[in-house]
Amino acid sequence: MTRVFRIVRKPYSKKPLDGEGSYLFGGRWSSPGTRLAYTAEHLSLAMIEYFIHIDPDDPPSDLAVVTAEIPDGVSRISISPKRLPSNWRQSPSPPELANIGDRFASNARGAILIVPSALAPTESNWLVNPRHPDFSKIHLRSVEPFDYDARFFK
């Protein structure tokens, strides 16, 4: 069993793994129109991944941390940094990365795509495909209020 984490605004915590955010806006690993829920293997990584998108002059006051459990038998595909283009960490991200996530979601060969974090490349983000049959095996463990320590904003 692997535990993964996701920081979301409270209104989105009711269906935190439905992939609605990536569907609407895309992300490093997906284009708009593709449903993938971005989670992280550690709470600290989830915090960093969300934090880089916060406006420091107007941080949200309605955050929640979602914890999900992924059983070992849930299908997954892992991509190592060696298989990625040399510029995979740049921002904005190269379109090849979104193509990888789009193909993963449409081919439905796995429920989880494990990818390296551009912010902490020795750690991984776990992208959840909510349309894969194994998605039903993933369990939300908790949704709890979350606040960043004020020192993050100094």
Q: Encode pLDDT of 61-116 as tens digits.
A: 999 999 999 999 999 999 999 999 999 999 999 999 999 999 999 998 899 999 99
Indicate the pLDDT class of residue 149, thresholds 50, 70 and 90: confident
Please give the CATH architecture assigned to the domain spanning 2-153: Alpha-Beta Complex (3.90)
Q: Is the pLDDT of residue 57 over 90?
A: no
Mean pLDDT of 9-16: 93
* Sequence-separated (6 or more) residues with CB below 8 Å from residue 29: 36, 38, 97, 98, 100, 101, 113, 115, 125, 127
Whether this model's pTM surpasses 0.85? yes
